[in-house]
């Protein structure tokens, strides 16, 4: 089933399915920027298989990080703990940077991050991984970063990378600016002031969004990329959920967040002019097409993807994110590793991956998922 979010205002049958899934899963945890997903537990020991899911030894897992995968994580936790009720999994969506810090400090069994650790962080991870182990990255889920806007009377909006760069650098400040009008001929744009919103926390979503601006509009965006917001002006919010809420309630607003947050709040989204024959809408099919062109960097047990943010391929949406689960290649905590390994195995399995489009996520290339499954089997 396909998710189509066209012009930001029309939800087709597949979009409705995604929206339904998001609303159902939101009951599994709070909806704030630092969401926590959890499930009940009961005392037990040993491993077993239930409903096609192999359960690890009973344990309580603490994990944190990426808000991009928040809806996927709620789905995974709900499904896994339904089959394996003796395991409790607490995932706090506090941002990729905070998730990496938690893992490096030994507070969590794994971290979710939308941007890879630096070489210095990997070296630092040797303190958290026993027996000369170190942190590795397992790509688990992908998806489009939507650029949401709130402009009454405008249902469809087309922007390109240079214009987005100037908007988010506070150099274009009115919605009827000639640069925007040129891309939206025939659209009546009001002189409303642009209210630009960005993340206040250390964010992999910010890293990927600014990577797109830096690669697709290098002359207009001079800040490079990073998890910390560096441009001028604008207003900030912590986490994708809070940022989406600010855009929803603020007239003239624009901000960036993963597609499920836009769908859940019915926020209009920007169609991106990439230079292809037609502007591209943010949807899982268009994101999957772009991610399929990613280059893989495979070093030992580590597996990372390099996205082509400057793609001009027809139908490929360029502003995407891949979320990694970060664990040790060896030396994971013995008390929780059997449960962690079983949970990661389920996440990467066909059963764990097959319904992610209903949550608003894109498919990773089959060869990447196959490699992840193989790597998990060899970790300790």
Query: What are the average pLDDT values for consecutive 10-residue runs of the chain, which has 380 residues?
Result: 34 35 31 43 54 91 96 96 96 96 98 96 96 96 97 97 98 98 97 98 97 98 97 95 98 97 97 98 96 88 93 97 97 96 97 89 92 95
Determine contact, residues 263/152, Cβ cutoff 8 Å.
Answer: no
**Number of Cβ atoms within 10 Å of the Cβ of 281:** 23
Residue 128, exposed/middle/buried by CB under 10 A (0-12, 13-18, 19+)?
buried
Q: Sign of the C-alpha dihedral, residues 41, 34, 212, 20? A: positive
Please give the pLDDT value at position 46.
56
The string of DSSP letters for 208-276 reads HHHHHHHHH-TTT--S---SS--SSS-EEESHHHHHHHHHHHSTTEEEEEEHHHHHHTT-EEPEEE-SS
Per-residue CA distances from 95 to 82, 101, 199 (Å): 26, 10, 10
Hey, what's the torsion of the CAs at 226, 229, 232, 236, to 10 degrees?
160
Please give the pLDDT value at position 10.
34
Please give the pLDDT value at position 41.
39
Please give the pLDDT value at position 301.
83
Phi, psi of 296 (to 5 degrees): -100, 140
Q: How far apart are CA 162 and CA 274, in angstroms?
A: 10
Q: How far apart are CA 139 and CA 376, in angstroms?
A: 11
Please give the pLDDT value at position 47.
66
DSSP helix, strand, coil percent of the chain (3-state; round to 5):
35, 25, 40
Confidence (pTM): 0.86
Helix (H, G, I), strand (E, B) or coil at 111: strand
């Amino acid at each position: 089933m396909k998710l189509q979010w066209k012009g930001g205002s029309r939800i087709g049958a597949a979009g409705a399915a995604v929206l339904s899934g998001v609303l159902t899963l939101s009951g599994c945890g709070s909806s704030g920027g630092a969401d926590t997903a959890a499930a009940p537990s009961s005392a037990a020991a040993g491993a077993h298989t239930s409903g096609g899911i192999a359960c690890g030894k009973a344990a309580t897992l603490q994990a944190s990080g990426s808000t991009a995968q928040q809806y996927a994580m709620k789905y995974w936790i709900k499904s896994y703990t339904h089959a394996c009720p003796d395991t409790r999994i607490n995932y706090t969506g506090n941002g990729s940077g905070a998730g990496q810090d938690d893992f490096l400090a030994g507070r969590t069994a794994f971290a979710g991050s939308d941007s890879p650790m630096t070489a210095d962080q990997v070296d630092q991870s040797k303190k958290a991984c026993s027996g000369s182990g170190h942190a590795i990255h397992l790509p688990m889920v992908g998806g489009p970063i939507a650029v949401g806007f709130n402009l009454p009377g405008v249902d469809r909006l087309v922007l390109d990378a240079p214009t987005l760069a100037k908007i988010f650098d506070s150099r274009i400040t009115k919605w009827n600016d000639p640069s925007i009008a040129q891309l939206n001929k025939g659209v009546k744009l009001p002189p409303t002031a642009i209210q630009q919103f960005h993340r206040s926390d250390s964010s992999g979503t910010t890293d990927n969004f600014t990577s797109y601006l830096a690669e697709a509009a290098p002359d207009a965006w001079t800040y490079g990329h990073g998890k910390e917001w560096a441009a001028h002006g604008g207003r900030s919010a912590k986490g994708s959920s809070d940022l989406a809420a600010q855009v929803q309630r603020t007239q003239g607003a624009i901000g960036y967040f993963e597609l499920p947050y836009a769908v859940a709040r019915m926020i209009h989204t920007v169609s991106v002019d990439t230079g292809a024959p037609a502007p591209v809408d943010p949807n899982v099919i268009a994101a999957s097409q772009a991610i399929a062109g990613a280059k893989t960097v495979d070093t030992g047990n580590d597996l990372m993807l390099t996205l082509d943010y400057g793609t001009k391929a027809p139908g490929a949406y360029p502003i995407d994110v891949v979320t990694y689960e970060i664990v040790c290649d060896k030396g994971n905590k013995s008390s929780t590793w059997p449960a962690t390994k079983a949970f990661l195995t389920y996440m990467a399995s066909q059963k764990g991956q097959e319904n992610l489009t209903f949550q608003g996520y894109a498919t990773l290339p089959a060869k990447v998922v196959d490699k992840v499954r193989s790597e998990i089997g060899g970790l300790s």
